[in-house]
Amino acid sequence: MSFIDKLDRARAVLERQGRLSARALGRELGVEGDELEELIEELVDVQQLARREGKVLVWAGAPAARRPEARSDSAPQPPRPTRASPPRRASCIDQATGARRLFAEMGVTGWDAYARSIEA
C-alpha cells in the first residue's frame, strides 16, 4: 500500500472515529515508528485535518480553502456549462413560432413568406 493510500485510509478512520490515539491509528493501518509519525505530520501539520492532544489525534475537519482536486501547476479551468446551448436551427424555429403567434394575434397575413425568409 502506498503512502498516499495509507494517508487516505488514516483520514477516513480518524474522521469516522473523531478521536483516536496515535498508537491505535498505527495499529489500524499496520504502521509504526517513523512511518506513523510521517502520516500524523501530514494530517496535522500539512493538511490541517487533525490536531494533537498529547498522544491523541482529534479530527478537525477539512479547512475551508482546501480543494483536493485543484493543482497549483495548472491554470484555473473555467466552469463547465451545465446545459448545452440550443442549436441555431432550433433558435430560428422558436423565433418563427413566436412570430407566427404574434401575426395570428394581430391578424396579419403573409406569414408563409415571412417564415421562409427567417428560416433560410
CATH number corresponding to 3-59: 1.10.10
Position 65 scores a pLDDT of 46
pLDDT greater than 50 at residue 115: yes
Handedness of CA 107, 109, 113, 114 (dihedral sign): negative
Q: How far apart are CA 89 and CA 102, in angstroms?
A: 20
The predicted-structure confidence for 12-27, as pLDDT tens digits, reads as follows 999 999 999 999 999 9
Residue 64: its pLDDT value, please?
A: 40
Q: What is the pLDDT of residues 57-78, one digit of tens each?
A: 999 886 544 445 545 556 667 7
Domain boundaries, the chain: 3-59, 88-119
More confident of the two residues 93 and 16: 16
Report in angstroms the alpha-carbon separations of 94 from 30, 82, 86, 109, 111.
65, 21, 10, 19, 15
pLDDT at residue 110, rounded to an integer: 64
